[in-house]
Amino acid sequence: MSAVLAVAPLAGAQDKPTQEQSAAKPFKPEELEQIVAPIALYPDGVVAQVLMASTYPLEVIEAARFAKSNANLKGDALNEAREGARTDDHIDGDRDEGVQS
């Protein structure tokens, strides 16, 4: 029971914002524009692919490793190697056979 009492004060401490969190100020509109302006230089399709890929970081790493280890493969040999590799169909753009645009 003493362990429960010792942990209880710690649980409530996380609910209160720290001095650093409460001192954080929102960005000014000019600062936000400066941060996101470089994104506007890329085509919308590229930005969409990067944003989607950012939600699957492990799969991006796996794909990069696969591409590096199979850099010498082209055409059908590359497709066969890819079929044997572990990939998720929903993040592989070339396998959208059943999807209609």
Q: What is the secondary structure of 43-77 as a DSSP string? A: -HHHHHHHHHHTT-HHHHHHHHHHHHHTTT--HHH
Q: Indicate yes or no: pTM above 0.95.
A: no
Which two tokens mark 79?
């497709």
What radius of gyration do the chain's Cα atoms show? Answer: 23
pLDDT tens digit sequence for 43-72: 999 999 999 999 999 999 988 898 898 888
Collect all residues with Cβ–Cβ distance below 8 Å to 70 and sequence separation of at least 6: 78, 81
pLDDT tens digit sequence for 64-97: 898 898 888 888 888 888 887 765 555 455 544 4
